[in-house]
């Protein structure tokens, strides 16, 4: 592996990121670990790697798991690694869900009302949830396509189906409408909102009966 490849490998890249985020100087870190500032610089550039003892000291200083420094996980919290890796959730998402779990009932006097986590579980379990996420994903992709097209020549701007300008004209000749990427992105956003509305409407009936006082 070349020095250039080493520079962009997980460990030096994440070490540089931690430096930037914490505004730590190489001199301060070198003193904490007990090595020279030049050694820290070599680690940051990917020219050398620390031994297992110094890896542990780095993780201790920045308060991140060793697995994060190795590039084996994106989680910076040891307790989150399994969830982060199995469900591809960020530390922020996990923290939000945990906060929901510990949140009290909306009505302290009504322990039978659904908690935020119960509602979240029902939303995710809905058959419409995957559809909603797909529409959001497509909206993002089409918007990115639209942004990329702005940097290209007018004659080669791709549409949502990925066909070029000439193919667009051919499809139009056969009466097939081709939607521009920006319009398709907006369409997908509206579809995702509609899917979410159906998810909410499909929540367990006892939620609504309790809310409107229909239960006996």
Domain 3-71 falls under CATH 3.40.50.300: no
> What are 32-81's pLDDT values in tens digits?
999 999 999 999 999 999 999 999 999 999 999 999 999 999 999 999 99
Q: Determine the pLDDT at residue 30.
A: 96
Task: Record the tokens describing residue 130, joined without a space.
Answer: 């995957």
Model confidence at 148, in pLDDT bands (50, 70, 90)? Answer: confident
| Backbone phi and psi for residue 61, each to the nearest 5 degrees, phi listed first | -65, -45
Model confidence at 169, in pLDDT bands (50, 70, 90)? Answer: low
Q: Give the separation between CA 125 and CA 120, rounded to whole angstroms.
A: 8
- Predicted TM-score of the model (pTM): 0.68
> What are 98-128's pLDDT values in tens digits?
988 887 776 667 667 788 888 999 999 999 9
Q: Give the separation between CA 5 and CA 86, rounded to whole angstroms.
A: 28
Q: Does position 165 have pLDDT exceeding 70, yes or no?
A: no
Query: What ranges do the domains of the chain cover?
Result: 3-71, 116-212
């Amino acid at each position: 592996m070349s020095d250039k490849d080493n520079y962009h490998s997980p460990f030096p890249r994440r070490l540089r990121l931690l430096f930037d985020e914490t505004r730590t100087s190489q001199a301060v870190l070198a003193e904490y670990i007990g090595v020279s500032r030049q050694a820290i610089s070599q680690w940051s550039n990917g020219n050398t790697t620390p031994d297992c003892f110094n890896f542990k000291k780095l993780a201790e200083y920045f308060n991140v798991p060793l697995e994060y420094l190795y590039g084996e996980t994106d989680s910076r919290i040891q307790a989150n690694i399994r969830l982060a890796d199995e469900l591809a959730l960020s530390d922020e998402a996990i923290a939000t869900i945990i906060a929901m779990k510990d949140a009290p009932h909306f009505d302290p006097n009504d322990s039978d009302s659904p908690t935020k986590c119960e509602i979240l579980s029902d939303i995710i379990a809905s058959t419409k949830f995957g559809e909603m996420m797909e529409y959001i994903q497509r909206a993002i992709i089409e918007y990115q396509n639209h942004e990329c097209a702005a940097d290209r020549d007018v004659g080669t701007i791709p549409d949502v189906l990925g066909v070029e300008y000439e193919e667009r004209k051919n499809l139009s000749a056969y009466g097939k409408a081709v939607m521009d990427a920006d319009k398709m992105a907006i369409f997908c956003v509206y579809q995702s909102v509609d899917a979410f509305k159906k998810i909410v409407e499909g929540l367990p009936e006892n939620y609504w009966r309790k809310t409107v006082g229909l239960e006996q």
